[in-house]
C-alpha cells in the first residue's frame, strides 16, 4: 500500500436493517487520507458521514468493503486503531461532572500514557487549547467552544497520528470555530497529523486540503476545494426576486441559463456568460411582473458547487 496513506475506505458499505426495510447508509464509498493532510467529509444531514467514521473506527460492523487506519483493519484490529487515533464524536460527550483536569487525566490513563509523562503533556495540551485557567472547572460548565477545545485536547493526549472529528464545531460561535480550525491547522502542519473531519459548514470545507462530497452514502467528488469549485460550469449571478418560485421557473427556461438554485430569498443563476445574460434575465423577470433586486455577479463557493454536482449526478442517474 502507498506509504503516505494513513486512513482509507474502499467500496465501504453499511446497510442498516430497520422496521421499514433496509437503509444503505454508506453505499460503496472509497476514500483516502494522506499523512499531514486534512480531508473534509462534506454532505447534508443523513448523507452517511457519521456512519462512515464509525465504520472506520470499528464502532459499527461494516456490511461490505474494507477500511483501515495506519495499516490496521477496522474490524480485525479496532483497538489498535483506537489506540493510535484521536476521535471527537458528533454529540459532545465528555463526562460533564468531571473537571477539565480530571477529564484529561482520565483520557491519558485510558490511552495508556505513562504516568510520568502525563503532567507535562496535559499542561502542554491545556496551554495549546487555551484552557490552562479552567483546569478545575467542571466540563459541563464550559462554554460550547471551550468544550470542543477540551474534547480536542483529550483526543490528542496520546499523540495520535490520525485525528477523526465528527462535526467538531457544531453549535460553536464563529470566533471559536476559527480558533478551533487554527489549532487543527497547527497540528497538521507542525506535527504531521492526518485529519478526517466531517462538517456541514462549507467555509470549513475551504480550509481542508481536499474535500470529499458525499450524498446518500456515495462519494460525489473528491478533490481540493479550488478544483471542486472549478467543476461548476459557467458563471454565477445572484439576485433577490419578489417571487422566488415563479422567478426560478421562468429563469430556468431562458437561453444561456445552465442551472438555478434557491437560497432562501435569493436565486443563484448559473449562466454561460454573466455579463451578456444579466440584462436579459432582469428584463424577462420584470416583463412577468417580478421585481428583481440586487442582481450581481458572485464567485461560486463550495455550497453552489456541491448542489450543482449533486444535481448533475441525480440527472445522470435518472437519464
Partner 1 sequence: MIDLQRLRAVLRKELTQLLRDRITLLLIFMMPLLELFFFAYAVNLSVDHIPTAVCDLSLDVRSRDFIDALVASGYFDIAEYAAGEADVIAALDEGRVRAGIVIPPDFAAQVARGQGEVLIILDGSDTYSVQAAYSAATAIAQHHALDLMVEKLRRQGQTFELMPVESSVRVLYNPTLDGLIFIVPALIAMLLQILTVNLTAQSIVREWELGTIEQLLATPIRPLELILGKLLPNLIIAAVALVLIALIGFVGMGVPFRGSVLLFLFLSLLFAISGLGLGLLVSTVAHTQNEAESITSMLMLLSMLLTGFIYPREPMPAIVRLVGDLIPLTYFVRIVRGVVTRGVGLTLVWQDVAALAIYAALAMYLAARFFHLRLD
Positions in the binding site for partner 1 (CB under 8 A) = 54, 57, 59-61, 79, 82-83, 85, 87-89, 91-98, 102, 105-107, 109-112, 151
Q: Which residues of 137-172 are buried (b: 16+ CB within 10 A; e: fewer)?
A: eebeebeebbbbbbbbbbbbbbebbbbbbbbbbbeb
Name the phi and psi angles at 253, rounded to 5: -90, -10
- The least distance separating partner 1 from the CB of residue 110, rounded to whole angstroms, comes to 5
Q: Name the residue nearer to partner 1 (CB basis): 91 or 245.
A: 91
What does the alpha-carbon distance between residue 99 and residue 134 come to, in Å, rounded to a whole number?
9
Q: Name the residue nearer to partner 1 (CB basis): 68 or 234.
A: 68
Q: Name the residue nearer to partner 1 (CB basis): 80 or 290.
A: 80
Q: Name the residue nearer to partner 1 (CB basis): 62 or 277.
A: 62
Q: Name the residue nearer to partner 1 (CB basis): 93 or 249.
A: 93
Q: Name the residue nearer to partner 1 (CB basis): 171 or 265.
A: 171
Q: Name the residue nearer to partner 1 (CB basis): 118 or 301.
A: 118
- The least distance separating partner 1 from the CB of residue 93, rounded to whole angstroms, comes to 4
Is the CB of residue 139 less than 8 Å from the CB of residue 105? no
- The least distance separating partner 1 from the CB of residue 120, rounded to whole angstroms, comes to 18
- The least distance separating partner 1 from the CB of residue 60, rounded to whole angstroms, comes to 6
- The least distance separating partner 1 from the CB of residue 252, rounded to whole angstroms, comes to 43
Is the CB of residue 103 less than 8 Å from the CB of residue 154? yes
- The least distance separating partner 1 from the CB of residue 175, rounded to whole angstroms, comes to 25
- The least distance separating partner 1 from the CB of residue 95, rounded to whole angstroms, comes to 6
Amino acid at each position: 500500500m502507498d506509504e503516505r496513506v494513513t486512513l482509507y475506505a474502499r467500496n465501504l458499505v453499511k446497510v442498516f436493517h430497520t422496521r421499514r426495510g433496509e437503509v444503505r447508509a454508506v453505499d460503496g464509498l472509497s476514500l483516502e487520507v494522506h499523512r499531514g493532510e486534512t480531508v473534509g467529509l462534506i454532505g447534508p444531514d443523513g448523507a452517511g458521514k457519521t456512519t462512515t467514521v464509525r465504520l472506520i473506527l470499528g464502532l459499527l460492523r461494516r456490511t461490505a468493503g474494507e477500511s483501515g487506519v495506519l495499516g490496521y483493519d477496522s474490524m480485525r484490529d479496532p483497538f489498535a486503531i483506537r489506540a493510535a487515533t484521536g476521535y471527537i464524536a458528533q454529540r459532545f460527550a465528555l463526562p460533564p461532572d468531571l473537571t477539565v483536569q480530571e477529564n484529561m487525566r482520565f483520557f491519558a490513563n485510558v490511552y495508556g500514557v505513562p504516568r510520568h509523562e502525563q503532567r507535562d503533556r496535559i499542561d502542554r495540551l491545556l496551554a495549546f487549547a487555551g484552557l490552562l485557567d479552567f483546569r478545575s472547572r467542571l466540563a459541563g460548565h464550559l462554554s460550547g467552544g471551550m468544550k470542543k477545545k477540551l474534547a480536542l485536547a483529550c483526543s490528542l493526549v496520546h499523540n495520535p497520528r490520525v485525528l477523526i472529528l465528527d462535526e467538531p464545531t457544531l453549535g460553536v460561535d464563529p470566533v471559536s470555530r476559527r480558533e478551533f480550525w487554527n489549532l487543527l491547522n497547527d497540528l497538521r502542519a507542525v506535527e504531521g497529523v492526518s485529519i478526517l473531519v466531517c462538517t456541514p459548514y462549507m467555509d470549513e470545507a475551504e480550509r481542508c486540503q481536499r474535500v470529499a462530497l458525499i450524498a446518500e452514502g456515495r462519494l460525489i467528488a473528491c478533490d481540493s476545494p479550488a478544483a471542486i469549485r472549478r467543476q461548476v460550469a459557467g458563471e454565477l449571478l445572484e439576485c433577490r426576486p419578489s417571487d422566488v418560485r415563479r422567478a426560478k421557473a421562468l429563469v430556468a427556461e431562458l437561453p444561456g441559463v445552465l442551472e438555478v438554485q434557491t437560497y432562501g430569498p435569493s436565486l443563484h443563476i448559473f449562466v454561460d456568460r454573466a455579463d451578456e445574460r444579466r440584462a436579459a434575465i432582469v428584463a424577462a423577470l420584470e416583463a412577468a411582473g417580478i421585481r428583481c433586486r440586487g442582481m450581481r455577479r458572485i464567485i461560486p463557493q463550495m455550497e453552489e458547487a456541491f448542489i450543482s454536482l449533486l444535481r448533475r449526478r441525480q440527472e445522470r442517474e435518472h437519464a
